[in-house]
Amino acid sequence: MSAGAAGQQQQRRRQGSAALRALAALGRATRHLLAAIGHFSRYALLTLMHMLRGPFYLRELGAQLYAIGYLSLPVVGLTALFTGGALALQIYAGGVRFNAEAVVPSIVAIGMVRELGPVMAGLMVAARVASSIAAEIGTMKVTEQLDALVTLSTDPMKYLTVPRVAAATLAVPVLVGVGDAIGIFGGYMVGITRLGFSEVAYLRNTVDFLEFWDVASGLVKGAAFGFIVALTGCYCGMQSGRGAQGVGRATKTAVVASAVMILAANYLLTELFFSA
């Protein structure tokens, strides 16, 4: 065999080995992803089962309703206010091209209650609550407080996960409703102060074009997003590694995973509600 043929054969072997290594890495990543989905689904199912039977820690539920719901109002309200104002400006700028400026009030209202209100509220709660829950439970795991709960015959899932998931599921739809109202008000303020709409005409167009299911679908989305945020935060906290790095990694994973799942769930729910 000539030197050139031997070199070509060796190069093909290296290329084949590199391809096999890439396939092996892809296989490992896929296996880990499927395992993580399976563990998370099992955790979600166990949480739902525990939510249906006692004991129920009502004091912990009340504390979480305050922490997740009431304390999230400022960030959700400010986000909705500026989002509604910006949405009115953008729709007006596009409507001018087609002499359709009159659709600004109705499109702002429908866009806020159907999509922007639930999604923005969910993402803001994910940034604030999922990280907080993951850090809190992860720290409890690192300091062996979870083991202490088990020693005291208290199920950590019952005491920590269930109140947080129930509170977020109940509180986030309320935040969505408040955010919808504030966002529509932001569009109203921009419309009458910057875009030349009359107060009566703007309000009439807003009310006439909104339907019950537009608002209800946003509230259902809010409940689903609240469940996702709290469940993801609790799961990542329970799976936290030891030490400060483990807690930091769990916090980051909780925020990123909950945000991605909110956007995916939003598409699926929108397809379910409005595909017909």
Total number of residues shown for the chain: 276
CA dist 81 and 54 (Å) reads 40
Asked if 205 and 101 count as a contact pair (C-beta separation under 8 A), the reply is no
CA dist 216 and 226 (Å) reads 15
CA dist 105 and 91 (Å) reads 9
pLDDT at 11: 63
pLDDT at 119: 93
Instruction: Give helix 117-125 / helix 162-193 axis angle, nearest 10°.
Output: 130
In single-letter form, the type of residue at position 272 comes to L
> Of 36, 40, 47, which Cα lies nearest the Cα of 156?
47
The number of CA neighbours under 13 Å toward the Cβ of 259 is 13
DSSP 38-101: HHHHHHHHHHHHHHTSS---HHHHHHHIIIIIGGGHHHHHHHHHHHHHHHHHHHHHHHHTTT-G
Neighbours of 75 (CB within 10 A): 17
240: left (phi over 0), alpha (psi -120 to 50) or beta: beta
Asked if 66 and 171 count as a contact pair (C-beta separation under 8 A), the reply is no
> Of 45, 55, 18, 69, which Cα lies nearest the Cα of 171?
69
Q: What is the pLDDT along the chain (276 residues), one digit of tens a residue?
A: 555 555 566 666 665 676 777 777 778 888 877 888 888 888 889 888 888 887 888 899 999 999 998 999 999 999 999 999 999 998 888 877 777 778 888 888 998 999 989 999 999 999 989 989 999 998 888 888 888 888 887 888 888 889 999 999 999 999 999 999 999 999 999 888 888 888 888 888 888 888 888 899 999 999 999 999 999 999 998 888 777 788 888 888 899 999 999 999 999 999 988 775
Q: What is the pLDDT of residues 210-243, one digit of tens each?
A: 888 889 999 999 999 999 999 999 999 888 877 7
DSSP 71: G
DSSP 128: I
CA dist 112 and 119 (Å) reads 9
R_g over Cα of the chain: 25
Q: What is the pLDDT of residues 56-92, one digit of tens each?
A: 888 999 999 999 989 999 999 999 999 999 999 988 8
> Of 121, 109, 33, which Cα lies nearest the Cα of 74?
121
DSSP 151-199: HTT--HIIIIIHHHHHHHHHHHHHHHHHHHHHHHHHHHHHHHHTS---H
